[in-house]
Structure 1
Amino acid sequence: MEHDLELLDSMSTGVIALDDALQVTALNSAGEALLETSKARCIGLHARLLLLESSEWLEHLQQAAASKTTRASRSFTLCLHSGHKILVDLVITPVTEEAPFSLLVELTAVDRLLRISREGNHHRTQETSRAVIRGLAHEIKNPLGGVRGAAQLLARELPNEELAEYTNVIIREADRLRDLVDRLLGPTRELNKQKLNIHEVLEHVRNLINAESENRVTIVRDYDPSLPEFEFDRAQLIQVVLNIMRNAIQAAESLRSCNIMLRSRAQRQFTIGGTLHRLACGIEIIDNGPGIAPDIMPSIFAPMVTGRAHGTGLGLSIAQSIAHMHDGTIECDSRPGETRFTLYLPMEKIHEQPH
């Protein structure tokens, strides 16, 4: 029995074990994450109580139990008690051998597979962009250095000090372009990882934002107190959260008030960048702004992409680069009135590769 439960917990898909009376006898970690519940709450419950709308779900279970044959349903909708609706591929397998359960229900989140595919595409696109930028940076910085040096030499030869203002303009603009190229390249120093509490970072950024905005922004916190400490670069993650929250405030400038929700949650058996992690941290930053324009949504993490007239388009690109350096990622979902950025970071060692 104990070996069976360990096997279930090692699976990346959600698994529910039911007895003859359709009561839950086991629920693996991926199943807990998928159903947004806990094993302790579910053990002993009838299967119909796992969901809000359970008639079709119950019908599938009863038919599989009665026929003793495997039943599969693609893109089946589960209505969770949290109010969320998720699409899953559902496979119900009757267990004929002697076992502590009669039905094994396997749930594979369809949106999870889409997310993994989308995340991989975004990562490849950003890596291609960065390779191009690195090449361009080399070609730009070399002549910039020559222009700056020539301006300094020219300033020494000028007979009139008033004319030096022109060479100073050249030097300042050369320095500004050099700094812009450095920012395009993103963070280059190695991470200084320490075992810390992610909520300390969120609280630090919240205080910074309150000071910058003179408390004109309403920030609501919904933290998961069970999140353990894990290793990350504090300064770099402060930059990530700060960039996203500043974007939210700038996007909401036309509104009477800007509201931001900071939420933290543990994600079990979570895949990031094609790698399955036993435990990951999910940080949501949700604002009430007008949303991101659909035409730029697919490329918001690319350098120089911005929806603001005076924006540089570097904040989100830098944030995503830092997330990748931590083996994490940032995802975004946006519609008018709600934009949600979610930062995912692995908290435990890699458990296994997904199948």
Structure 2
Amino acid sequence: MDIKHLFNNLVTAVMVIDVDLKLCYANAAAEQLLGVGSHRLTEHVLSDSFQILGVSTDLLSKAIRENQGLTVNTAPLVTLDNQHHTVDITLTPLEQEQGLGLLELRQVDQQRRIHQQLTLDAQQQAAQYLVRNLAHEIKNPLGGLRGAAQLLSRELHDPQLNEFTDLIIEQADRLRNLVDRLLGPQRPTQHSLHNIHEVVQKVLNLVNMALPPNITLKQDYDPSIPDIQMDPEQLQQAVLNIVQNAIQALDTAGGEILIRTRTQHQVTIGTLRHKLVLALSIIDNGPGIKPELLDTLFYPMVTGRDNGSGLGLSIAHNFARLHGGRIDCHSKLGRTEFTILLPIKN
């Protein structure tokens, strides 16, 4: 059995370090957690691979030198790309290999995130069920109201009075469009193989037509990402909704929006664990999202803007769900990151 292949299927970050904290090996989960490739990891000492780790590197070195195990629970980890995690750290000296230690970093915030996602999905599905029932109840009398306004318009010969019936018809159509958006698709559509970067580029082409001059769009793509099964129109709409939100957040002060694609290994979405997923991130350096909105951000009709409909993120979340994926959001002052995670089937 290939031990390296076995380690690469673990969700725990596993590294082998020597007494000088030089990395000899890092599995796929370690690459993902630290955001650094294994080749770069093994070319440097451990301390070059993160900003903060909640245990002294001298203590790790001493434990290997004295052949003593070490455990630190709920330690902070800040990676080079400024991602914050909470990890349990375990160092086990290798008896058969003097001067080497097996370092394990197990994310304890991942379990909390999975629980939050399951809770959010259940709550959102309940909210969507309520909204769908309400929408159906609205559409029936709305159709009757519009029909009555059309019949009344035919009987009126005064143009000034026709303006009122036209207004009724116009507003009825507006409400019907809003209800149709609330209902949205509830079942997966036909999927076929497409390149995610082509989908993103179509979004950027649309956005660039009316992009304010004080906002810059940047791309950071991983060209090795394979084509995935998708409905390109649904994913294009999901990405467009998130990018438009970022533009609106930056509208006053301006700023930068980064579109980044990467792959992640051993990711749990809902109750399913996937060996490989696409991570499409939309990152802006705007004012951030109010903390009180974060837990209900993907609910229908929830918005932080006075003129917002509260449907854009709900629709994007639903489209990701219909692809077997999810959307994560992390926000603070100066950085808001939405990440669409989609399974890549081998």
Output the TM-score relative to the length of structure 2. 0.87
Q: Using the TM superposition, give the Cα deviation of residue 79 of structure 1 relative to its aligned residue in structure 2, in angstroms.
A: 4.9
SS in 2 for 1:213: coil
SS in 2 for 1:278: strand
Q: Which residue in 2 is equivalent to 1:279?
A: 276
Please say if residues 330 and 344 of structure 1, whose CA atoms lie closer than 8 Å, have aligned partners that are also in contact: yes
Are residue 339 (structure 1) and residue 336 (structure 2) matched? Answer: yes
Please say if residues 65 and 103 of structure 1, whose CA atoms lie closer than 8 Å, have aligned partners that are also in contact: no
The residue identity in structure 2 corresponding to 1:307 is G
Q: Which residue in 1 is equivalent to 2:193?
A: 195
Change (3 A) 1:259 1:50: closer
Change (3 A) 1:49 1:176: closer
SS in 2 for 1:60: helix
The share of aligned pairs that are identical, in percent, is 40
- Out of 276, 293, 296, the position equivalent to 1:296 is 293
Q: Which residue in 2 is equivalent to 1:10?
A: 9
SS in 1 for 2:11: coil
Change (3 A) 1:215 1:204: farther
1-structure distance, mates of 2:261, 2:335? 17
Please say if residues 19 and 62 of structure 2, whose CA atoms lie closer than 8 Å, have aligned partners that are also in contact: no
Output the TM-score relative to the length of structure 1. 0.85
The residue identity in structure 1 corresponding to 2:341 is Y
- Which deviates the most, 38-47 or 195-204? 38-47
Q: For 1:72-221, what aligned pairs fall within 5 Å after superposition?
A: 72-82=71-81, 84=83, 86-95=85-94, 103-156=101-154, 158=155, 160=157, 162=159, 163-188=161-186, 190-213=188-211, 217-221=215-219
Please say if residues 305 and 314 of structure 1, whose CA atoms lie closer than 8 Å, have aligned partners that are also in contact: yes
Q: Show structure 1 runs of 5+ residues with no match.
A: 350-355
Q: Using the TM superposition, give the Cα deviation of residue 332 of structure 1 relative to its aligned residue in structure 2, in angstroms.
A: 1.7
SS in 2 for 1:26: strand
Change (3 A) 1:131 1:46: same
Are residue 35 (structure 1) and residue 10 (structure 2) matched? Answer: no
SS in 1 for 2:85: strand
SS in 2 for 1:327: coil
1-structure distance, mates of 2:57, 2:6? 25
Q: Which residue in 1 is equivalent to 2:237?
A: 239
**1:188-212 Cα deviation digits (max 9, x unpaired):** 4642322222111222211211112
2-structure distance, mates of 1:95, 1:8? 16
2-structure distance, mates of 1:123, 1:45? 41
The residue identity in structure 1 corresponding to 2:324 is D
The residue identity in structure 1 corresponding to 2:204 is R
Change (3 A) 1:135 1:159: closer
Q: Using the TM superposition, give the Cα deviation of residue 325 of structure 1 relative to its aligned residue in structure 2, in angstroms.
A: 0.8
- Which deviates the most, 160-169 or 308-317? 160-169
The residue identity in structure 2 corresponding to 1:123 is D
The residue identity in structure 1 corresponding to 2:325 is G
What is the total number of aligned residue pairs between the two structures? 344
Q: Show structure 2 runs of 5+ residues with no match.
A: none
Please say if residues 90 and 106 of structure 1, whose CA atoms lie closer than 8 Å, have aligned partners that are also in contact: yes
SS in 2 for 1:295: helix
Change (3 A) 1:24 1:287: closer
Q: Which residue in 2 is equivalent to 1:56?
A: 56
Are residue 268 (structure 1) and residue 252 (structure 2) matched? Answer: no
Change (3 A) 1:10 1:100: farther
**1:81-134 Cα deviation digits (max 9, x unpaired):** 5565533111223455x6899643221123323322222222222111101111
1-structure distance, mates of 2:182, 2:218? 32
**1:269-289 Cα deviation digits (max 9, x unpaired):** 122223221111111212232
1-structure distance, mates of 2:283, 2:116? 21
1-structure distance, mates of 2:187, 2:284? 31
Root-mean-square deviation (CA, aligned residues, Å) is 2.9
Q: Using the TM superposition, give the Cα deviation of residue 49 of structure 1 relative to its aligned residue in structure 2, in angstroms.
A: 5.6
Please say if residues 64 and 100 of structure 2, whose CA atoms lie closer than 8 Å, have aligned partners that are also in contact: no
1-structure distance, mates of 2:249, 2:81? 29
SS in 2 for 1:212: coil
2-structure distance, mates of 1:45, 1:254? 43
The residue identity in structure 1 corresponding to 2:120 is H
Q: Using the TM superposition, give the Cα deviation of residue 246 of structure 1 relative to its aligned residue in structure 2, in angstroms.
A: 1.1
Q: Which residue in 2 is equivalent to 1:312?
A: 309
Q: Using the TM superposition, give the Cα deviation of residue 261 of structure 1 relative to its aligned residue in structure 2, in angstroms.
A: 1.2
**1:244-296 Cα deviation digits (max 9, x unpaired):** 111112222221x3421111111111222232211111112122322222232
